Structure 1
Amino acid sequence: MKNNFAALALMASMAVFMSACTSSTQETPPEQAAPVVQEDTPGNTAAQQDTIKKSIPSQAQGAIGGTSIKISYHAPGVRGRVIWGGLVALDQVWVTGAHKATAVTFDKEVIIDGKEVAAGTYAFFTIPGKEEWTIILNKDHEQHLADNYDQEKDILRVKVSPEILGQHQERLKFEITSTTPTKGAITVAWDKVRVYLPVSTDA
């Protein structure tokens, strides 16, 4: 009887030992690596492509002479559309942007086309044409598009010649450039067309 108990005890001990050995030699599955997320970089074409469909609220700021100039506008994109003579009618008053009237603010008096323009905020309208554009500054800058445009509120009209760009400008862009200490221009570019409104100051 005692021999039987001893044999059973030995067999149980061996079973425990074998189980422990099996557990200690079982491989642990490798950890899964975290997924790699590719970020857009300046060299990534997808990052540079303008895919926004709506017109973007934008501002251009600069100085000509001692006068600070700010232009507030909405910038639409071309998005494969015909712009001149299509989306934008030729020979008609255009908001030169989208949604609200484009507004230009001068903090001091400026001279445009030989006329003195007092400090203040004005609507910036244009009349695009194939050979000639008309740039308009109007007193009523608080309006939707050019819905309430009133020619009697114009403070000046300037005829300018459009320039054909060598590169496509996807989104409407205003710029303020200074060429001398007292002279510069407001520039409007979109699609493949650019126009300049010369601006000067006394100082």
Structure 2
Amino acid sequence: MKNLRLFRLLTLLLIGVLWVSRTQAQDAAKEKPSPAATATGKIGKATITVAYSSPAVKGRTVWGGLVPYGQVWRAGANEATTFTTDQPLMVEGKALPAGTYALFVIPTEKQWTIIFNKTAKQWGAFKYDEKQDALRVMATPRKTASMAERLVYEVTPQGLILRWENQEVLVGLK
């Protein structure tokens, strides 16, 4: 009798473990709404790394809609996007020391303000403090040749490109 109870208990325990592991595997297989992404590249001797969460358009109007014009945007989803350089850089002709920064953007239809903020670890732009800005530069957005469903960053020899929906902006780096 004891052996039968022990056998039933172990069987139920095994079934429970298998069920939980199967459920977790299914959850892991589901795509996150804004998966984490990284863009890395070299600008001269500097290694640049941009860490961000990549939201999707999902049929929405991004610029001037989901991302309002004239307001600080976290340049991604979830945590603020971070920009790291291991060497000092010139950003649109202005000096930026080596370090890790939160990257924010204030988009408008004609010009975007690109912000490198000293408080790298923060959730979104909810506690953004302009007094912590290390550098602000201006960049001009342009229409893309094709629609980009997900936000993507790219480090090229010319600088950093932010591309999403039907727009992209190049931030010149040297």
**TM value normalised by structure 1:** 0.69
Match of 2:60 in 1: 81
Alignment of 1:1-203 (within 5 A): 52=31, 54-178=33-157, 184-200=158-174
What is the SS of the residue equivalent to 2:173? Answer: strand
Deviation per CA, 1:44-65: give whole Å up to 9, x if none: xxxxxxx946001000000011
1:132 Cα deviation from its structure 2 partner: 1.1
- Give the secondary structure class of the aligned counterpart of 1:152: helix
Deviation, structure 1 residue 113: 2.7
* 1:196 partner letter: L
Task: Give the gaps of 5 or more residues in structure 1.
Answer: 1-50, 179-183
Q: Give me the identity figure in percent.
A: 40
User: Residue 110 of structure 1 contacts residue 119 of structure 1 at CA under 8 Å; is this kept in 2?
Assistant: yes
**Structure-2 separation of matches of 1:52 and 1:163:** 30
Deviations 1:13-52 (A, max 9, x none): xxxxxxxxxxxxxxxxxxxxxxxxxxxxxxxxxxxxxx94
Q: CA deviation at 1:93?
A: 0.2
Aligned residues: 145
Structure 2 unaligned spans of 5+: 1-29
Q: Distance in 2 between matches of 1:110 and 1:166?
A: 29
Q: Distance in 1 between matches of 2:39 and 2:147?
A: 20
Larger radius of gyration: 1
Give the distance between the partners of 2:163 and 2:147, measured in 1 at CA.
10
Residue identity matched to 1:91: G
* Letter aligned with residue 187 of structure 1: I
CA distance in 1, matches of 2:173, 2:46: 10
Do 1:53 and 1:77's aligned partners in 2 also have CA atoms closer than 8 Å?
A: no
Give the letter aligned to residue 159 of structure 2.
A
Deviation at residue 114 of structure 1 after TM alignment: 2.5
Q: Which moved more, 1:51-60 or 1:94-103?
A: 51-60
In angstroms, what is the RMSD of aligned CA positions? 1.3
Say which SS state the counterpart of residue 126 (structure 1) adopts: strand
Distance 2:128 2:92 in 1: 22
